[in-house]
Structure 1
Amino acid sequence: MADTKREIERKFEFTDAASARRGVPDLTGTAAVAAVADRGTVELDAVYYDTPDQRLAADGLTLRRRTGGQDAGWHLKLPVSPGVRDEVGAPLSDTPPGSLTALVRSRVRDTGLLPQVRLLSSRRVSHLLDADGALLAELSTDEVRAERDDATAAWTEVEVELADGVDPRLLDAVEKTFRKAGLRVSASPSKLARALAETGPAPVGRTAPGPASDGTAGGYVLAYLREQRDALVAQDPAVRRALPDSVHQMRVATRRLRSAFKTYRKVLDRAVTDPIGEDLRWLAAELGVDRDQEVLLERIRTSLDELPRTLLQGPVRSRLRTWNTARRSGSRRRALAALDSGRYVALLDSLDAVLDRPPLRKAADGAAERVLPKAVLADYERLAGRVRDALAMEPGHERDLALHDARKAAKRARYAAEAAVPALGKPAKRLAKAVKSVQTLLGDHQDGVVAREALHGLALQASAAGESAFTWGVLYAREEARAERCERELPAVWKKASDPAPRQALG
């Protein structure tokens, strides 16, 4: 099983030969450092794997097989923020382990992983200790030799990696001491990045930067699509690792892509984008099973917590746990199966193809400030029609369905406006904010519809097991009241959202 740890570190290099001869300064007395303990020298041999076109390196990921030291094995490093990476490890084997290759599948896809660079490092290790002898950070001075085909490079670098739970401000204090001694923060984020830069061509991304700066509608739409494609790819390993909110963020990216294809159908050829949109809809649905259950469970659990104890009759919490376990037993497997499928890889390749060879229509060459407002306002009018239709209905099942359709239209109108913000500025931003208020209200209403269905099922299960169904009935009644409040509030929320000012500013 793969192990994960969070790395918070900073890399340094000597500014000149004189500072290199002086070496690393004594850090005793820097911040909370009370002592520096020498831990000797280790010899490390690391081979880095990537695709032939270096897709992992282009996205800041590294996959290596390393021997020597205390953590010999396979390591995959995933960027979190500058100076922060998650390292996922696996035991030594001859080939990259499946637990790690799964985490890079959205980048690698059906392309093989091959050895790209070998790094040989002689590492002198010291421990920075506080007054109680507790470890604050590990200080490493590495003499590195990089080998790539027939090219080689050599350099010295210094790395300070914090121990778990240590205040990151220690790194700032170390940097200040290092600057005075002639060391600066390394220009390369990793050894691999430096090795690649010094032994051959640097890696490039999957596609070139978007042409949004040309001012055309096509340029802005493609830049937005690229942003969402990158978000989808980046969330893949997070979903596989079951990180918080990762499924939600991945679904948002799929929905934004699908929505953009529909909204900007006069910019992009629908004959190309419609089939991709269907695959995006499939992916969102496969991912959504687990996420939707998670949201539903939290809603019901919160409602239970709000009830007085006198209204909690029967083993309601254990009943809720049993119900949730049964519903979620296969949902994660289903999501992972989708990410492991050939259809998913084909979808990613199709998105790349749209960005590499955009199926642009005539309107794509038009000025963004002329083309995009028409698309945004068309989605807004679609929302307006659905809200009017829903408000004209009597309360009941059919109105619930109509309100759900209006919610989906609100989401599409919001995404359309948000996509246009880089080109249209504040008017698009104000419209997106206004529409989001409608989406939020209608979302609460729809969540209540789903919750009532679940509560009805829980009541039936409780009764069949000889338990009291009273509490589930109380929660059902509360959801009904909450839905009624949403419906009463909708006219006022819609009136505010239908203020003509933002729309007039757009077009």
Structure 2
Amino acid sequence: MADSKREIERKYEATPDTRLPDLTRVAGVSDVTHHGVTSLDAVYYDTADFRLAADSLTLRRRTGGADEGWHLKFPVSSGIRDEIRAPLADTLPAGLAALLRSRVREADVAPVVRLLSARDVHHLLDADGTFLAELSVDEVIAERLTEEGRGTTAVWTEIEVELADDGDPAFLDAVERRLRKAGVQPSASASKLARALTETDHPEKQHPAKKKRKQPPPTAGDHVLAYVRAQIEAVIAYDPAVRRDLPDSVHQMRVATRRLRSAFKTYRKILDRTVTDPLGDELKWLAAELGVDRDQEVLDERFHARIAGLPRTLLLGPVEGRLRLWSVARRTGSTRRVAAVLDGKRYLALLDSLDALLAGPPLLPGAAREPREVLPRAVLKDFKRLATRVGHALEQPPGEDRDLAMHEARKAAKRARYAGEAARPALGKPAKRFAKRMKAVQKVLGDHQDSVLARDALRDLAVQAHAAGESAFTWGLLYGQEQAAAADRERELPDVWVRASLPGLRSALKG
């Protein structure tokens, strides 16, 4: 079974002649214990076109040391990575292969670099002997591996300081100050692999990770494609997080699919809809598959908050137990279902199609125009669509017709908000203000829709409780609270809408 570890570390340049300073002068360090030299042999894997390195991922099989085995590292932020470990085996473990699937698809991963390291290990301890950090001096030999065999080599020495589990990252600042004072400087490379790829590369080749970033897009098409690319990258990046069942990962991946769909619809004058409409249908399917677990999670949180807010005297019957049984029954197998979807041919085909879209964008004539000539019109068209739906919702009497109309208005508000967010890099503050206003409308409508779904679920819970001979009183009470919440949102909507559609909105977006 694979396990994970949050790795917080910093790397520093060194030479074989570098001498460590007295680290007991670092605040909090009372002792530094030497644990000898360990030999490490690590083979790093990637696709032929270095897809993992381009996204700052590292996959290695390492022998030697206390944690030998397969290691897959995902970047979190500067100096912080999540390391997923699996036992030592001759072939890549299936669990790690699944976490790579959104990036490698059907491509093979093969050895690209071998690192042989002599690691001189030191432990930094406090006055109680508590482990604070591990400092190692690594003498590294890097060797490029090719289909023809061994390639070029590089040799260097570096210092690595890794924080103890649950340690305070500020401690690394104190260690760094001491090292810098001794003349030790931070490494220019984020990882050993990055340095190895750079120093063993052939001069005539440029590694994908070293490509310069593109300048700000000058045309409407470039701008929209930059936004689309960012959402596609988000879908791919959240895939392994969803597989690991990390908090909020399903929600964020789902949001990326929705933003993509919205962009395809909003910018139909820029991207050919004969190409994007089928992609939009597939993204809608993916969002629905991801939504099964997410929607249940939202309901669970809502009901637990409602129950926590009730006096104990109003909790009649096994309310919390009933809620738990109901939730488990609805979520049983959902994690396996999502994993099956992400491993399925339909999903992988969608990712390939999105890649193809970026490789050969289906641009229309409007794509060549200036962003300020095209984007405001597209955003305002979405706003007009929202205005029509809000007006229709406000005309409906309370009941199912109004609920449905407000739900349709919510979807339009979300699309208008995403349109504003997508246009922000080109239109600046007016687009930012527009998106903020649309978000306020979306929130009111979203809260209303949540109450509609909650009432349906509460009725289901009340029926189950009654059938089991339990009191349905509490579920009826919560149902009434949700009715009142929906009525509050309905009364709130007109004022929120007036503020969102203040005069000057059109002229501000048009600049």
Q: Determine if the alignment matches structure 1 residue 349 to structure 2 residue 352.
A: yes
Residue in 2 that maps onto 1:437: 440
Residue in 2 that maps onto 1:26: 22
Contact 1:235 1:246 in 2 (8 A): yes
Task: Kindly provide the CA deviation profile for residues 125-169 of structure 1, in whole angstroms up to 9, marking residues without a partner as x.
Answer: 111111111111111111100111321000001100011122212
Larger displacement relative to structure 2 (329-338 or 248-257): 329-338
The AA in structure 1 aligned to 2:180 is: R
SS in 2 for 1:150: strand
1:215: how far off?
Answer: 2.1
Pairing 1:205-354 to 2, within 5 Å after superposition: 209=213, 213-354=216-357
CA distance in 2, matches of 1:209, 1:404: 40
Pairing 1:381-392 to 2, within 5 Å after superposition: 381-392=384-395
Task: Kindly provide the CA deviation profile for residues 216-273 of structure 1, in whole angstroms up to 9, marking residues without a partner as x.
Answer: 1101101111111111111111111111111110001000001000000110011111
The AA in structure 2 aligned to 1:425 is: G
The AA in structure 2 aligned to 1:2 is: A
Contact 1:8 1:83 in 2 (8 A): yes
Q: Determine if the alignment matches structure 1 residue 175 to structure 2 residue 176.
A: yes
In the superposition, the TM-score normalised over structure 1's length comes to 0.97
SS in 1 for 2:185: strand
Task: Kindly provide the CA deviation profile for residues 426-459 of structure 1, in whole angstroms up to 9, marking residues without a partner as x.
Answer: 1111111111111000000000000000000001
Residue in 2 that maps onto 1:158: 159
Residue in 2 that maps onto 1:10: 10
Residue in 2 that maps onto 1:450: 453
The AA in structure 1 aligned to 2:236 is: V
SS in 2 for 1:21: coil
Contact 1:42 1:122 in 2 (8 A): yes
The aligned length equals 502
Closer, same or farther: CA 169–161 of 1 in aligned 2, 3 Å: same
Contact 1:76 1:89 in 2 (8 A): yes
Residue in 1 that maps onto 2:147: none
1:205: how far off?
Answer: 5.7
* Fraction of identical pairs, as percent: 65
Q: Determine if the alignment matches structure 1 residue 129 to structure 2 residue 129.
A: no
Residue in 1 that maps onto 2:96: 100
CA distance in 1, matches of 2:266, 2:335: 31
Q: Please, which of 201, 207, 210 is the counterpart of residue 203 of structure 1?
A: 207
Residue in 2 that maps onto 1:427: 430
CA distance in 1, matches of 2:210, 2:375: 26
Residue in 2 that maps onto 1:39: 35
Task: Kindly provide the CA deviation profile for residues 328-376 of structure 1, in whole angstroms up to 9, marking residues without a partner as x.
Answer: 0022222111111111111111111111211100000011001000000
Contact 1:427 1:503 in 2 (8 A): no
CA distance in 1, matches of 2:471, 2:371: 61
Contact 1:210 1:222 in 2 (8 A): no
SS in 2 for 1:43: strand
Task: Kindly provide the CA deviation profile for residues 64-92 of structure 1, in whole angstroms up to 9, marking residues without a partner as x.
Answer: 00001111100001111100011110001
In the superposition, the TM-score normalised over structure 2's length comes to 0.96
Contact 1:61 1:76 in 2 (8 A): yes
The AA in structure 1 aligned to 2:334 is: S
1:23: how far off?
Answer: 2.1
Contact 1:207 1:356 in 2 (8 A): no
1:283: how far off?
Answer: 0.6
The AA in structure 2 aligned to 1:275 is: P
Mind listing any 5+ residue stretches in structure 2 that lack a counterpart?
Answer: 145-149
